[in-house]
Structure 1
Amino acid sequence: MYIKTKRNIGEEEKNEILKFISANRLGNIIKEEKDYYRIGIIGNTSNVDLDILLSFAGVDEIVPIGKSYKFVSREFQPQDSVIDIKGRKIGGGNFLMMAGPCAIENRESIFKIAKAVKDSGAQVLRGGAFKPRTSPYDFQGLGEDGLKYMREAADKYDLLVVTEVMDSNDIPLIEKYADIFQVGARNMQNFSLLKALGKSNKPVLLKRGLSATIREFLMAAEYIVAYGNENVILCERGIRTFETMTRNTVDINAIPLIKEKSHLPIIIDASHGTGRRTLVQPVTMAGIIAGADGAMVEVHENPECACSDGMQSLHFDEFDRLMKNIDKLLVFRKEIV
């Protein structure tokens, strides 16, 4: 539920409401509207007499939220969230492209890739330093050295950095190098990790789990928001089905449905979604037409020799062609909305 304040309330009246919430060991999320506030109440309210709030001078009404994913829902916030990351924005009509290798392999490689994706128009460099692999014998990433290389390359070419965090113990380390935390599909319901990221002030890119329903996906986002971090970006990266000709099955209809249900921005990852280089461009573009606020694409200077996911990584020229087509597509999308 949330409190709708009276119009044009003063700071003293607002602080009186917040003091009551805090005194009852509850959290809050504040959304400022044109001339009033929505104050979301976080926590177990079963033993709190919230009706007392109706007697407060600044309270207009207490509004229940029907969704289990309360604060990421459109019920709580009708307008799109716009997340500003060092001047780059996503959501509310702002498109953000994230591109780079599956795994950071060495310093020379990540610098080449960073230059190529920047030249083609990407704003965020992606790359894994800690790789969750199905086999314990596969390449597991370079760890902190990989993070250093990626940060150096991103700074040289004026890019943001997004990289995966798998363990809450690694958050302080990764926080030093990354601008955006990525939660991979396998960790979508790692609730201790989600809670810890909720206490960070950096945006979180949350990928949909391998077999997660849309409701479960939004509930995972709710964990991060409920623990204090409202800067969540969702990512549709395909789900596991009976189909075997692609790595996963990209759920395109999830994009407009999630935008209908939630105010959070959502991106499309067709690289993991399809597992096939030839499908990355058409499926990425399909996701954009469906309303995606951004995309994540795996790019490598020599995909055939990549340490991981080479078969779904684009060559530099293929990525450049995709970006040119996306520019045209975004113009077209504005015309048909």
Structure 2
Amino acid sequence: MTKFQPVRKAVIPVAGNGTRFLPATKSMPKEMLTIVDRPVVQYAVDEAMAAGIEHIIFVTSRNKTAIEDYFDTTPDLTSSLTRAGKTAQVDLLEKMLPIAGTVSYTRQQSPLGLGHAVWCARELVGNEPFALLLPDMVSFGPQGCMAGLMDLYDEVGGNVIAVEECAPHETSSYGIVGIGNKVEHGFEVSDMVEKPDPAVAPSNYYLNGRYILQPEIFGLLASQERGAGNEIQLTDSMQRLAEQQAFHAHPYGGRTFDCGSKRGFIEANVAFAMLRAELGEDLAQSIQDLVAGHQQAVRAA
């Protein structure tokens, strides 16, 4: 049992418009786009639950009711599958259904940035530490990223963030952290810099969309100060909180796919499909054939 206040709740912001995936997201939430046969948002929920989270808080917006419906019962579908003798599908649907009362929803009425979305969850989180998972960032590895953060939190408490290494020349695309004293499951964060030039970046460790934050972050977000893009940035308040409380970083040993981009979304589909026994071998051969065909076409052009 941790000696620190336990992390029981997770915030998952799902209010974004998903304009990079238009026209697919014209009438459906981007978080409901599927990686193989499960929506993107399901991966974040499963990762949180596997790490010991007890309550999921979704920050939604207009036209996101499909997410609420997805995490609800479907009596008509269940009855139809039962009559057809498709018990495996019924069991699958029941297994993914959250326990009653363990999911909450709150609205972000205006698209004012990630910091604002997190602030919208303040009343549901209350005065306790909480996890934050950005659903576009999908973990791929033997262990979910949030489980590693929980291990580090049990060791040091305070605020914990997940990081991964990027190529040194790519630091200007990410929030980058400085490396301080090492601990068993990570290291102390000595600095947080938003999109630094590679020449002055404190490291090549970037924030990958998984956090454990103390509730004092809400008081800092309450000032509603605008940052980059004229939005309320979470990183700005994290930097201010770091002046008062310790931050530690957990280097994730797997890989995170940015499913908010088309390339990352396609890569995630391929990676997760390759893990499936019924798909992996045939898919690997199909990809090899497609690559060979593409290369041949390029040479002939």
TM above 0.5, yes or no, is no
The structure whose RCO (Cα within 8 Å, separation 6+) is larger is 2
What TM-score results when the alignment is normalised by the length of structure 1?
A: 0.26
**The structure with more strand, counted as a fraction of residues:** 2
